[in-house]
Structure 1
Amino acid sequence: MDEDLTVALRLQEEWDARAAKRAARETLSLVDPSWELLDPNPNLQGLFVQFNDCFFWGRLGAVEVKWSPRMTLCAGICSYEGRGGMCSIRISEPLLKFRPRKDLVETLLHEMIHAYLFITNNDKDREGHGPEFCKHMHRINRLTGANITVHHTFHSEVEEYRRHWWRCNGPCQHKQPYYGYVKRATNRAPSAHDSWWAEHQKACGGTYIKIKEPENYSKKGKGKTKQPVSTVENKGTFTHTLLSFL
């Protein structure tokens, strides 16, 4: 009898502990600091499903969400291909792996608002952050304690990946704010493919010379033939990026 009572008490204690943990999870703000210990490496798909049910009335079931292992210049991106097309969210693994859990939560929610506006054909503001976006942003912030914003500034993480540097040898090397520098995460030299190139050629006319790259980068590239890069413009596709830099 005593043994049965001991077992029963132990089971009750375990049950009470689980119930307390569940209650804590349900009452915590989405960005409460304790989440960093309770769930420091959340499952992206799991968060998406949870947020879709709680904040978007289950309307985002057909939206694709994935980590992007190579996206280094923006924290999040949401793409939508026309009416009735595919809506896709990409979250930057390289940038957000350095950040607290709350930054992932707020970035994902930001992109989910864009997805919701896209698929409900309520994306009237083509700049992406008009009244409709702000309405949902403020609604979710009030409900969750999050601080979703129009823009996130992960400057230190972005800078960490910008290891290919060029500098112009013309007059612009003496002018603010860039002093002739162009820094990128990929080995893509400044060229006519850049929107600002024609203006630079007219105002400065200098030549960009590479001055810095990742250690041993040139050795790794030996023996490989680079394929030409082609760009295709799809006029039926609208893409929103949460954060981008030249």
Structure 2
Amino acid sequence: MSKNSDTAQATDRKGPQHVAIIMDGNGRWAQSRGRPRLFGHRAGARRVREIVEACPDLGVKCVTIFAFSTENWKRTQTEVSGLMSLFRRYIKKETRALHDEGVRVRFIGDRVRLDAKLVKLMDELEDYTAGNTRVNLTIALNYGGRDEVARATKRLAQDVADGRLDPADVGEETLPKYLDTCVLPDPDLVIRTSGEARISNFLLWQSAYAEYEFIDTLWPDFTDEIFTKLVKSYAGRDRRFGAVKT
């Protein structure tokens, strides 16, 4: 193969535009060090900025992180309260830095159950970074894929009931317009840390054709070097979307 052919082939292998991450292993990381689980969550929160800052050089336009699921309410009250406090502190601390880095922040998930002070901070952060375009950071907070689809379906059904949508026009392209992620492209790559190999109710509709990477590294140990390796590995994958190459 000629050098020009090698270059053309490399150019055709595009990296992921949207990477979604299930940030797992904070609690185990802390417990392995004899520390409380919240110590691990704090360490994991600090890791987020490093990964977001690595995105522009890798060509990643969107990164979505799974911060708190609808199932996480089942954890102890101490851990849940600590996480909510951590989210509030994170937003207050990181707002200026995220803005200065050109990061646009969005939150997805059901906000009804969240503390009013936290929701206010979330709204303010979204408004403050709304004009940024360098990286799109989406934080899934009190989020569950099934819950999202159920809420989207209710909105769709209401539009049908109100005469704004003809049932005959409902198809595969309709529901995504009602999802929390309606303004985002579907993820190309989903990464889960900590050695668990399941998707845990995360972006169920959107990840239908995503590539997955399940790695053993616990989230607080997930470095930008590991992230870079996974992003570059994606470019070598053969993505056919159900078709067969001829």
TM-score class, shorter: under 0.3
With the length of structure 2 as denominator, give the TM-score of the two structures: 0.22
Question: Greater relative contact order (Cα 8 A, min sep 6): structure 1 or 2?
Answer: 2
With the length of structure 1 as denominator, give the TM-score of the two structures: 0.22
Structure number, greater radius of gyration: 1
Q: Which has the higher helix share?
A: 2
